[in-house]
Amino acid sequence: MADLGTYRKKRDFSKTAEPAGSEPTSSGSRFVVHKHSATADHYDLRLELDGVLKSWAVPKGPSLNPADKRFAAATEDHPIDYIDFEGVIPEGEYGGGPMIVWDTGDWAPMGDPRADLKKGAFKFRLWGDKLKGGWMLTRLKGKPEDKGKEGWLLFKEHDTAMDTKTDILTARPKA
């Protein structure tokens, strides 16, 4: 079972509105991508699994172009009630800065998610407002890149939801 100890140790809940979270219980199939303006702007991909949100910080954000391989640093598990968290984390606190829900929806693994994460080759499908179709996280070999955090690459699979022309991060909805 997942553990929220690392998440809680990094935060002072008397100063931040982030949820402390209850103990991990059952699991659903939701996902969220937060746009987070902390030390540097980035996007946090979070997948509900084993009663927590498995999380990766993606500095350049997701891309619908399968040719774009985006670095994703594995971060600590987050509580399920973080899935709809939006707000400003106070300056001086871990992750200080504004955060919004950029995309949300459901996800499904294309295999055994626990075994695939352990092996470092994890395929999944997303059904969100902005992100859809097949995706892959693959663990980087060698030394982790981001201050001791495990390095992965996030990329879009070749399918009907891919788009090699649109930058999903700057695209505006059609009126």
> Is 166 among the domain residues?
no
pLDDT band at 175 (very low <50, low <70, confident <90, very high): very low
> Is 64 among the domain residues?
yes
Question: Tell me: the pLDDT tens digits for 131-147?
Answer: 999 999 999 986 554 44
Nearest to 161 by CA among 132, 125, 139, 122: 132
> Is 58 among the domain residues?
yes
- The total domain count for the chain is 1
Residue type at position 55: S
> Is 172 among the domain residues?
no
> Is 164 among the domain residues?
no
SS3 category, 6? helix
SS3 category, 119? helix
Give the whole-angstrom CA distance, residue 161 versus residue 172.
17
> Which range marks the domain in which residue 61 is found?
5-17+27-156
Return the minimum-mean-pLDDT range out of 29-33, 83-87, 138-142, 148-152: 148-152
| Phi, psi for 36 (deg, rounded to 5) | -125, 120
pLDDT of residue 146: 43
Nearest to 43 by CA among 25, 27, 55: 55
Average pLDDT in the chain = 91
Cβ neighbours, 10 Å, residue 81 = 13
pLDDT of residue 170: 84
Give the whole-angstrom CA distance, residue 169 versus residue 64.
10
Q: CA angle, 86 as apex, 52 and 107 as ends, to 5°? A: 40
pTM: 0.91
Question: Tell me: the pLDDT tens digits for 43-71?
Answer: 999 999 999 999 999 999 999 999 999 99
pLDDT band at 87 (very low <50, low <70, confident <90, very high): very high
> Is 61 among the domain residues?
yes
pLDDT of residue 143: 55
pLDDT of residue 1: 52
pLDDT of residue 58: 97
> Is 22 among the domain residues?
no
The residue ranking higher by pLDDT, 146 or 35, is: 35
> Is 40 among the domain residues?
yes
In the predicted structure, residue 149 carries a pLDDT above the cut 50: yes
The secondary structure of 77-92 as a DSSP string is: EEEGGGTT--EEEPTT
